[in-house]
Amino acid sequence: MVYYAHIAAGTSVVRRFWCDTAGVLGQTQTKGAMAPSSRFAGFYDQPLGDRVEQVAQWANLSVEEAATLRRAIGLDLAQADEMIENVVGLYALPLGIAVNFLINGRDVLVPMAIEEPSVVAGASFAAKLVRAGGGFQATAAPSEMIGQIQVLNVADPHSARFDLLAAREELLALADETDALLLRLGGGARDLEVRILGDTPVGSMLIVHLIFDCRDAMGANAVNTACESLGPRIEEITGGRTRLRILSNLADRRLARARCTVPADALAFDGLAGHEVVERIVEASAFAAADPYRAATHNKGIMNGVDAVVLATGNDWRAVEAGAHAYAGRGCGYRSLTTWAQDSRGDLAGTLEMPIAVGVVGGTTQVHPMARLALKILGVRTARELAQVIAAVGLAQNLAALRALATEGIQRGHMQLHARQVAMAAGAQGQEIRQVAQALIARGVIRQGQAAVILEDLRSE
């Protein structure tokens, strides 16, 4: 057994760990000390095993949890078979850790499940820049989802609307009966709205919105059940017939916001002064604000970060995607989800606002072993805390993309990782992957045929 102390970078914190080769067995932290820093210099260059060890220590993972990470034991087939239909196998993705995040004064390591190179590195790099400006400030609204009930064949929609609003208390109480546990946890029905959609191909219809607080769950099941339960009573009140009863993924009551400031000096790069990089990023942001063709790509970059955390934590990334793009398209045309401007000191100020409907209980979050681990590493206890982290990661990802696009372009940074994928596709294994990748970059030709030739030479040496 090894006993050693870890002094977190940039703080006076001393954490003591008891370890053996199987992993961390226990730890203590100096009384009154601050949490350890997520500023992991050189994390990228460490061997994979050391990275696992460092994260396990940082997040105080149990021996079993550390082993799960190290041996990449995620879901097993039996569990998968209970989750969806017609299961024939598992599909794995890399799980990376974005480092350097400081969110609302708390150091955070961010697990990201994603296949695309440069995303984890980009988020970590941007988080380092933002750290120099004091980190991210993030907020998230209460977990209120909107459930929709479609009512057709209503003789007088305007009068029926008033009748439904008059029955608000009764309908909310009825919806609350569907989930006693959620009610005990402080969630449940919050409000009722009724809209009239006139002139549709099937005539006018009433759309009832049930506003439902899902607390720490994403809430799709709770909302759908509550909406279905209201159907018969709504038909009685309106004299119409209900058809669809389902949540809306435009979760615009569940908005998360993140903001940050990057000191101009921290952005100086490759012969460009910091203020020049600030100006270039602001110009890039203006492009996305004015043009939907650019906004789509700009937002895709944000979702690179958002989806990777949503997926790592076992949440429904399609729901978050749908909400993000619907929110970006509200009002007058499709727009970017972030803004970047130069503040009065000449520094770069960024904001992000988008719906983030995620949970830390229910669904896959507690079933998938990797999702449970991801939540533990993040150290979030509530859905709102998780949404705050995701918003900060989205903003970081956007900053990384804009900084690269507005300066050197993204291809240079991509080449190293792209070359490794090409090397793997040509059959390189273990150490060979980096060797072949480096040779490809040196030759300036990143092609599989070229990689195969290099590999053959390497093996014949």
Binding site for ligand MEV (CB under 6 A): 116, 297-298, 300-301, 304, 401, 405, 410
Smallest gap from Cβ 94 to ligand MEV, in A, equals 15
169 catalytic? Reply is: no
Q: Smaller CB distance to ligand MEV: residue 227 or 401? A: 401
Q: By beta-carbon distance, which residue lies closest to ligand MEV?
A: 301
Q: Give me the sign of the Cα torsion angle 195, 299, 257, 283.
A: negative
Smallest gap from Cβ 119 to ligand MEV, in A, equals 7
Tokens 């590493």 sit on residue? 377
Which among 209, 275, 300, 376 is annotated as catalytic? 300
Q: Smaller CB distance to ligand MEV: residue 129 or 160? A: 129
Q: Smaller CB distance to ligand MEV: residue 219 or 301? A: 301
Q: Smaller CB distance to ligand MEV: residue 297 or 382? A: 297
Smallest gap from Cβ 285 to ligand MEV, in A, equals 10
Q: Give me the sign of the Cα torsion angle 37, 122, 368, 363.
A: positive
Smallest gap from Cβ 330 to ligand MEV, in A, equals 21
376 catalytic? Reply is: no
Structure tokens belonging to residue 402 = 């804009």
Smallest gap from Cβ 298 to ligand MEV, in A, equals 5
8 Å CB contact between 219 and 247: yes
Q: Smaller CB distance to ligand MEV: residue 266 or 296? A: 296
Which among 144, 316, 347, 432 is annotated as catalytic? 316
456 catalytic? Reply is: no
156 catalytic? Reply is: no
Three-class secondary structure of residue 92 per DSSP: coil
Smallest gap from Cβ 288 to ligand MEV, in A, equals 8
Residue 220: which H helix or E strand, with range?
helix 220-238
Which among 116, 193, 276, 279 is annotated as catalytic? 116
8 Å CB contact between 109 and 101: yes
Closest CA to 349 of 297, 282, 407: 282
Which among 6, 209, 275, 414 is annotated as catalytic? 414
CB atoms inside a 10 Å sphere around CB 452: 17
Per-residue 3-state assignment (H helix, E strand, C coil) for 338-397 = EEEEECCCCCEEEEEEEECCCCCECHHHCCCHHHHHHHHHHCCCCHHHHHHHHHHHHHHH
Length of the chain: 461
Q: Smaller CB distance to ligand MEV: residue 183 or 405? A: 405
229 CA to centre of own chain: 32
What secondary structure does DSSP assign to 6-26, as a single string? Answer: EE-TTS--EEEEEEETTEEEE
Torsion of Cα atoms, 310 then 316 then 317 then 320, to 10°: -100
So which residues are the catalytic ones? 116, 300, 316, 414
